[in-house]
Structure 1
């Protein structure tokens, strides 16, 4: 069987578009590059919050929420539950959407949920050095991995006793560009 011809992509603005894209020089197919979706959760057991100390870069050794990239063919909620299992061996129940953040500099959209721990037995998964349940006052604020973790924890705390509230976005002045 003859080898299929490899597509020859070039960087140009396709007809009817206004941005540089990767376009096949032979057939005109546009290979769009789109933002990555990160899913995660502020997971609670009573008043305590689940945090994971990262075993991987970026920000190895810093604390974060259980979160990561969505996989193909999964819902955001299933992805958030999968990430909690992978990072903390935590079985969770998603309650509601807490926030949707945009991080343009990383081309990310982050969907962060409120969730409850179904089983208090947790342990570090392969991407975590350790996991822990923290009272809000005891969160290692100076050792949080990412600004969006701080945003989610702060916003969660402001609505922790509410059942219904509108989902948050980036805090005022936080564009996600730095």
Structure 2
């Protein structure tokens, strides 16, 4: 048994093993041609030799400046969503820590601070200071993210698609750097 290409209208439509002699009806307009192992479905046949098909070229459309700007908004929104999930808790915890600090770290620090202190195995004062530091860092990061999101206008106002793509890459890198600082 040998490999044969089944050719219709100059194109290999199937492959089969066949002795080359026995009577087989491969279908209307189909010719069996002895083939090498390299021949595959989709190859052309010009009557004397097989021809590999041209490689498929996939063209990926370049995103428009608006699409890139929308991606910037989406990225920042996804980062915000991690924070806003517990936003009210963070705000109340920060407020309680500030109240405890303003009282000279004396008296009842409230549940928000004491629960954090107990879980972290630190004093109420250390917990309050940590909470306030984290709140400051978070607020700074959110401010930076808001400013970076506005840089989408650099993308939208770029003169060329390449300039828009370069601006997008720079903005996203800066956004990711800020996002990495959020605890």
TM-score range, shorter chain: under 0.3
**TM-score, normalised on structure 2?**
0.20
Greater fraction strand: 1
**TM-score, normalised on structure 1?**
0.20
